[in-house]
């Protein structure tokens, strides 16, 4: 896959240089933490929405979804389909809550509701999880780019790492949002170009593509069995519900964007844009995989190399079938997706370090000191993410890193359960939550250790980390997160009855929202004009 024209190289290099240029352009505005971490709350809703969308659509989507659809069907999309179903009603509650309670860190809400343990647990879980995610994204995108460009993987990781650190360090959230906008359009454009080409390349055009897809059940979401041990529609649907709540209710990368909008109305609009744009693009990349299958199984199509894996088909198509220029644009879109995801991670990890730790342990700090510390943490986070990626390449994503990330999964159990417990119940208290977290961590440890196989000794033979025979966790790995969240929610709620504690303030729960809505309806019934400013909002 090394027959790349110099024009393609030029397009990729220019797109990467543009990211640095955006950081330099916005650098002079980054004079305080409000601007650096939340763009001063002045970004228009459509741009914040595009940024949310670009953050959700990473290079993993770019590479994994076409491969999954080529090999099987659209079952992975079920998770995404759950997102709008869950969030359309909840965004109106979640967004104003966080904008009133949170100064910068999502996990300030957790402390207000349950105390310092909940905040530390959730912020550490987010940080560890996003370091592992950053390593995965770096590894996958460097593998793809190295294949396309005939370039050393280590060099690609280092180059991308420097670009992302510079963009984030200089431009802050403002640069990230506007770069996300450009990268989002590039990603959409690249996907649409591939679909159009794939629909018309086979003999017979779109009709033949759909015929082959239909005969092979490629556009399908099954199996529809009630079985938690396999990847089924039910498993993906349940996972999707908690994925939606985790991303939009507990994830710093999304909540920080709520704060970048001008007001509550604009923030809610941005959240809706992000949700409603993501699902069609997820579907677009699934459809690319379906079209790839139809193309390579149509009459007169090129023969794929023997032994090629499903997730290698899309990169092969890009390298061998796309014309000069278009190929460079698609590769640039892949790099853009990685940059869009990783620059967000660095800024958010820095924000958490500042708000959850620095200001807690160093009293009476000035805003300038916080900004300086935040910049230092951007650099250190970037170096750490690059280091994880280099280890991923060295160990091939297996061995020690596999075991390490399994431990991360254990100690990040039940974050959505914490959020739901705090939002839905006034009776739940910090003592009950502590019991719930302990139960979830113990369960997750059992499930992960008895179901995860890694090449611990580097011999090529994968072994279960803890083998209990018939007592091993046998359900699909996607159910692990579902169970851990439910355990925190259920155990935490009932355990709270064993500890004396006052009811939580309504303003920190859904009850505050319901009371506010009831008051507004009553005010309208009493003859107050609906255009008047009805000040009945709870004092978060």
For residue range 518-538, list pLDDT tens digits in order.
887 877 777 765 455 444 444
Q: What angle (nearest 5°) sits at the alpha carbon of residue 317, between those of residues 197 and 218?
A: 75
Neighbouring C-alpha atoms within 13 Å toward the C-beta of 514: 6
Q: Where are the alpha helices (DSSP H) in 27-76?
A: 33-38, 45-56, 59-71
Strands 453-454 and 463-464: antiparallel
Look at residue 65 and give its three-state secondary structure: helix
Tell me which DSSP letter residue 98 carries: H
C-alpha pair distances (Å), 305 with each of 144, 302, 310, 313, 316: 17, 9, 11, 9, 9
Q: Residue 3: is it exposed, middle or buried by C-beta count within 10 angstroms (0-12/13-18/19+)?
A: exposed
pLDDT reported for residue 139: 79
Q: How far apart are CA 233 and CA 224, in angstroms?
A: 5
**What average pLDDT does the structure give for the chain?**
86
C-alpha pair distances (Å), 308 with each of 140, 250, 445: 17, 39, 35
pLDDT reported for residue 456: 63
Structural domains of the chain sorted by starting position, each given as residue range(s) with its CATH number in brackets: 6-397 (1.20.1730.10), 398-504 (no CATH)
pTM equals 0.87
Which pLDDT tens digit goes with each residue over 156-191? 989 989 999 999 999 999 999 998 898 888 888 889
Tell me which DSSP letter residue 354 carries: I
pLDDT reported for residue 539: 41
Task: Find, among 168, 186, 236, 225, the residue nearest to 19 by Cα.
Answer: 168
**Rounded to the nearest 10 degrees, how much is the dihedral formed by the CA atoms of 442, 131, 99, 110?**
20
Q: Residue 111: is it exposed, middle or buried by C-beta count within 10 angstroms (0-12/13-18/19+)?
A: buried
Q: How far apart are CA 266 and CA 258, in angstroms?
A: 9
Number of neighbouring beta carbons within 10 Å of residue 217: 10
Which strand (E) or helix (H) includes residue 253?
Answer: helix 252-260
Q: How far apart are CA 65 and CA 75, in angstroms?
A: 10
Q: Where are the alpha helices (DSSP H) in 297-398?
A: 313-321, 326-352, 359-361, 367-395
Q: What residue ranges of the chain have pLDDT lower than 70?
A: 1-3, 59, 396-412, 455-460, 528-540
Task: Find, among 313, 357, 8, the residue nearest to 149 by Cα.
Answer: 8
Contact in structure between 327 and 318 (CB atoms under 8 Å): yes
Number of neighbouring beta carbons within 10 Å of residue 119: 23
Which pLDDT tens digit goes with each residue over 133-156? 777 777 778 878 887 887 888 999
Q: How far apart are CA 502 and CA 226, in angstroms?
A: 41
Look at residue 248 and give its three-state secondary structure: helix
What is the crossing angle of helices 233-249 and 415-424, to 10°?
70
pLDDT reported for residue 373: 96
Task: Find, among 254, 275, 238, 289, the residue nearest to 475 by Cα.
Answer: 238
pLDDT reported for residue 466: 86
């Amino acid at each position: 896959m090394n027959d790349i024209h110099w024009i393609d190289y030029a397009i990729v290099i220019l797109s990467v240089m543009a990211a640095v240029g955006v950081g330099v352009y916005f650098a002079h505005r980054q004079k305080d933490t409000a601007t650096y971490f939340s763009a001063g709350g002045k970004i228009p809703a459509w741009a914040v929405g595009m940024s949310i969308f670009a953050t959700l659509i990473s290079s993993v989507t770019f590479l994994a979804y076409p491969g999954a659809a080529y090999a099987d069907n659209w079952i992975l999309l079920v998770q995404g389909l759950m997102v709008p179903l869950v969030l359309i009603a909840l965004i109106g509650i979640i967004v104003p809550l966080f904008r009133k309670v949170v100064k910068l860190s999502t996990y300030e809400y957790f402390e207000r509701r349950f105390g310092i343990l909940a905040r530390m647990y959730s912020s550490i879980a987010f940080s560890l999880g996003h370091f592992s995610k950053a390593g995965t994204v770096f590894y996958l995108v460097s593998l793809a780019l190295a294949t396309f460009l005939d370039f050393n993987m280590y060099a690609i990781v280092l180059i991308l790492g420097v670009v992302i650190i510079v963009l984030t360090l200089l431009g802050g959230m403002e640069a990230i949002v506007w770069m996300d906008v450009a990268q989002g359009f590039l990603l959409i454009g690249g996907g649409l170009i591939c679909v159009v080409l794939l629909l018309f390349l086979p003999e017979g055009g779109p009709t033949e593509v759909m015929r082959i897809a239909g005969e092979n059940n490629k556009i399908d979401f099954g199996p529809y069995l009630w079985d938690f041990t396999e990847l089924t529609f039910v498993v993906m649907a349940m996972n999707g519900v908690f994925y939606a709540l985790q991303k939009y209710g507990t994830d710093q990368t999304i909540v920080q964007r709520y704060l970048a909008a001008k007001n509550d109305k604009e923030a809610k609009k941005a959240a809706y844009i992000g949700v409603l744009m993501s699902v069609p693009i997820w579907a677009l990349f699934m459809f690319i995989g379906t079209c790839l299958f139809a193309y390579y199984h149509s009459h007169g199509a090129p023969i794929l190399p023997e032994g090629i894996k499903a997730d290698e088909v899309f990169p092969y198509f890009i390298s061998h079938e796309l014309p000069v220029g278009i190929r460079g644009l698609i590769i640039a879109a892949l790099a853009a997706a990685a940059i869009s995801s990783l620059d967000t991670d660095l800024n958010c990890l820095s924000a958490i370090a500042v708000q959850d730790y620095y200001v807690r342990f160093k009293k009476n700090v000035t805003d300038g000191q916080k900004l300086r510390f935040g910049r230092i943490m951007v650099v250190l986070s970037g170096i750490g993410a690059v280091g994880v990626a280099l280890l991923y390449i060295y160990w091939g994503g297996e061995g020690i890193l596999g075991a390490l990330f399994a431990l991360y999964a254990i100690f990040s159990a039940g974050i959505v359960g914490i959020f739901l417990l705090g939002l839905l119940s006034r009776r739940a208290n910090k003592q009950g939550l502590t019991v719930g977290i302990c139960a979830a961590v113990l369960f997750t440890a059992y499930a992960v250790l008895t179901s995860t196989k890694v090449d611990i000794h580097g011999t090529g033979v994968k072994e279960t980390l803890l083998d209990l025979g018939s007592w091993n966790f046998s359900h699909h790995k996607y159910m692990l997160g579902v169970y851990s969240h439910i355990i925190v929610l259920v155990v935490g709620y009932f355990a709270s009855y064993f500890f004396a504690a006052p009811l939580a303030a309504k303003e920190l729960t859904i009850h505050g929202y319901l009371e506010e809505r009831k008051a507004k309806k009553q005010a309208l019934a009493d003859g107050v004009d609906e255009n008047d400013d009805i000040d009945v909002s709870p004092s978060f």
